[in-house]
Amino acid sequence: MKRYPRQLSRGQNNPVIAISENEVAKLFTGDTRSDIGSEAEKMQYANSINSLVVKFIRLDRDETNDWDMLVMERLYPLDYRSYEVEKRELWFDVFASELQQLHEGGFVHRDLRRPSDISGERFDNIFLTANGIRLIDVGISFLKNNVGNKIFEAAREKELEELEQFKTFFLNR
């Protein structure tokens, strides 16, 4: 698998590189099976509700490397295990409340817990940062106004189940 300069991570379809101390870019090269415009729209929509989802900055293009880039704020994850359970409980409560706000606003993330057949940690898309818990990677997220009530509600219910699994993982390790 190709490694990119300043690569931080790689999802199922796209690598993420560091641009600066404050910005990262998700690279869209060739046929990545994901849509940069759709992902940008979903990220901006979630950002308009609250700050739980990583902040969208811009779409850009690197002509030299032939990359389309979804530029986002750079997050610096912390190891939650170095914090007392009481603090984690507080962070989790805020996280659950902000996730509920997103749901009420018509956004469901759909990828709190990775499917077992995808490599990576179970909850790779949830970061603990100095500013609390944050979500990354909205590639498979849903906007209620795009998918309708039935599909949205089914995804929301599944996400609430994943939220309970994350709570157990986050508080009991």
CATH of the domain spanning 80-172: 1.10.510.10
Whole-model pTM: value is: 0.91
**Domain boundaries of the chain, sorted by first residue:** 7-73, 80-172
pLDDT, one tens digit for every residue, the chain (173 residues): 788 999 999 877 789 999 999 999 999 987 655 689 999 999 999 999 999 999 999 999 999 999 999 999 999 999 999 999 999 999 999 999 999 999 999 999 998 986 555 555 679 899 999 999 999 999 899 999 999 999 999 999 999 999 999 999 999 98
| DSSP for residue 172 | H
| DSSP for residue 118 | S
Amino acid letter at 114? R
Mean of pLDDT over the chain: 92
Tell me if the domain spanning 7-73 has CATH number 3.40.50.720.
Answer: no
